[in-house]
Structure formats: C-alpha cells, structure tokens
Structure 1
C-alpha cells in the first residue's frame, strides 16, 4: 500500500502550484512571496521554510520542467524496424509530452521568465533543449545505417521537431490554444513524418 504524502510534502506541492499560477498570471517580477503564500493557503514562514528565496522557488519549478522532459523515454535506432514506424513512435512521444497540461504550465512559466530575465532560466532551458538530442542521435544512427541522406543531423532534427512544435507547442504557449484533439495529433504526426522521410530517406529504402 502506498503511504499518503506527508503534510510537509503536500504544503511544498501547494506552494509550487501556487507559484506556477502566480508567475503565469503576473510574471516573475510582480509576484511576491506573500501572494504565493496566500494562494497556497500557507503562512509566509512556511513558504520560506521550503524555499529560502523567490529565485529558489523558481529554480524548483524549472527543475520540475526538466524532470518532466527527462522522464520521456528515449527510443534507440533499430536497423530491423521500418524507419516510419520508429519515427512515428518518436514524434508520438513528444506529442504526448506537449499535450500534458502540467508540462505546458511549467513551460509557460519558464519561457515568460526567460524573456524578462534570461539569466534565471538559460541554464535549465539549455538542459531541456539537450533532451532533443535524442532525435539527433537517432537520425545520426539511421544515416550511418544508410537509411537517411548524409545531411547535418542537428539541422534535420530541428526541422522535424520544429514542425511538431508549430502545431502542438507554440500555439498553446503563445496564443492560449488548447491541446490538439487525438485525431488531429495523429494527422500532424503522420504528415510530419511522411514529409521528413520524403526528403531525407535514401532512394534504396
């Protein structure tokens, strides 16, 4: 049987969720620890017991974003499986992550803070960006196997993932659109993969 979260853990999570809500609503600079405490329904002393400063609290939010991204399993290239099947799985993984409300909330907070104070977020956002290297590694392996043309793998990965974000990340981040419906997700992933392979797949395959 799983033990219920301790009171201190519940309070810490309430503080984090309140901070995410307040940072989203008012931005980093305009959000006070007092406001976060009120939203979390805890004392200001409790907030400072968990997070000595607003910077520490923001860093914890960015850490959650990193962990959400890092939790996504990586798909290794397989010479025995069809390219399209593997690419569909890769892009479906990313689509699921971008459809997760918690991940998107964290991303909005991080991006908004990075715009106003880049030095606060640049290291963590850089770490998150490195999670996309998994696609680059996959492309490089497919090239070594002669299945994809010998183009710059980082450029190819950026093209592939950039198209996905055009539909399933930036409209939600910048314009407040909801996540794509499941049928739309499938159509976007399928089209992006087919376009990528039409250009990069070698003629022999």
Structure 2
C-alpha cells in the first residue's frame, strides 16, 4: 500500500510531510492537555485548542475526529502503562491481591495528580456513552473509553485471579473493574480535594468486598485493612 502522502518512504517531501503532521499532532495534544487540565470539559472547545496549537479548526478535526477522541488520546498514555504492568505481574505469577492493591493506588494517584483532566474525561465518557447508547467497541477510534482504557489493568488482574482461584468468580472481572473506575471518576468530580490514600482505601474496600470479602473480616488486618499509615 502506498504511503498516504503519495511519495516513496525515503522521499524527502514525504518525510517532511510526516514530520509536519507529527508536530501538528503533538502541538494539538499539548494544547488539549493544558486546556482540559485548566478549564475542564465544558469550557474547552476544539476551536480554542486549535488556536492554541497554531492551526485551524479544520486541521484539528483532520487529526482528531471529535473533542472526545482528543481527550482520550491525551489521557490514554497516563493509564496504558498500568495494563503493561498488570501483564508483567501475571507473567511473574505475583499474588493478585498485592498487584491489585498497587494498581488501584496508582490509579488514585493519577486521578489526584490530574484531577481536572480526570473530571473532564468523566464528562466526555458520559456524553459519548449517551450518544452511542452502548458498551465501548474496540474499533471505535473516537470513543474515550477505548482510547483511555482505565479499567483494563484491574480487569486483567481480576480475570487472572478468578481463573486461578485467588478471587471469587462473581461478579465478573469486567463488572468489578468498571465499578471501581466509575467510582474513581465520580470522586474526581465530587471530591476534588480528596487525598489519594483516602480514595484508594475506599476503592479497595469496595473491590475486595466483592472479590475477596475475607480480607475485610480478617481480625489480623483490623477493620480497615487498606488504610495506609500516615
């Protein structure tokens, strides 16, 4: 298949065109990161992002079909490494409870560090989900749920834990992961000043209350087994 710019791969003009596209895309992502992180979802327009990046709105839409997609591409790199770590933990046969605790605490820290961006993502997901009226489709390149797959790391580990008998098999791993992430995103909006240790304790209590309730009733761990020492 010939390259989209019409020239051979080593054509200087083709390389220049690719470099320009890459720079424009990077400028749009940087501008979007700043805009969503400071103004939130509702107050950020594609036109404003394009202007900050020094391009036209038409150019911005050529790179990203919707505002939802653009935010998904901004947030995705924050959470995709967590799925990689989950796969490594599974391959290394790490105890799934330990791995899940680390994952949830990492998500809480990301949410706290990028609070406004996280709240914007929740708004984008709600709006897009209402529009498509269904679960995410893997080939939908405009769905922020696909582009920023926050539940993936928890789902992978929970599925592994259920297969290996380390966790209860009900509810399904996908349902638990969605429940945990929804609660995380809601708190980014409703509790913007919440300490990530507090958030993670709540999320872990809810998650293991469903998947391994004996952790919450073990006298050795006390009434709050996921509370971090201060």
2: distance between equivalents of 1:197 and 1:113? 33
Which of 67, 73, 81 in structure 2 is aligned with 1:71?
A: 81
Counterparts in 2 of 1:19 and 1:116: CA distance versus 1, 3 Å: farther
Given that 2:104 and 2:203 are in contact with CA atoms closer than 8 Å, whether structure 1 keeps it comes out as yes
* 1:198 matched to 2:213: yes
Give the CA deviation at 1:170: 0.8
What is the Cα-based RMSD across aligned positions, in Å? 4.3
Corresponding residue for residue 158 of structure 2: 139
Q: Which runs of 5+ in 1 are unaligned?
A: 1-6, 201-205
- CA shift, 1:158, in A, is 2.2
Q: Is the contact made by 2:162 and 2:168 (CA closer than 8 Å) also made in structure 1?
A: yes
Deviations 1:143-163 (A, max 9, x none): 332323343533xx4235514
Partners of 2:178 and 2:196 in 1: how far apart?
18
Q: Is the 8 A contact 2:180 2:206 kept in 1?
A: yes
Supply the distance in 1 between the matched residues of 2:203 and 2:130 (Cα, whole angstroms): 33
Answering whether residue 144 of structure 2 is matched by residue 98 of structure 1, we say no
User: C-alpha displacement at 1:178, in angstroms?
Assistant: 0.7
Structure 2 unaligned residues grouped into runs of 5+: 1-22, 216-230
Residues 14-65 of structure 1, C-alpha deviation per residue, up to 9 Å, x if partnerless? 64246636772347xxx472x5566x385xxx23485255963623333223
Q: How many residues align?
A: 182
| 1:169 corresponds to | 185
Q: What do the CA deviations read for 1:112-154 (whole angstroms, capped 9, x no partner)? A: 64267449xx632342575524433323322332323343533
Q: Secondary structure at the match of 1:178?
A: coil
In 2, Cα distance between equivalents of 1:149 and 1:10: 43
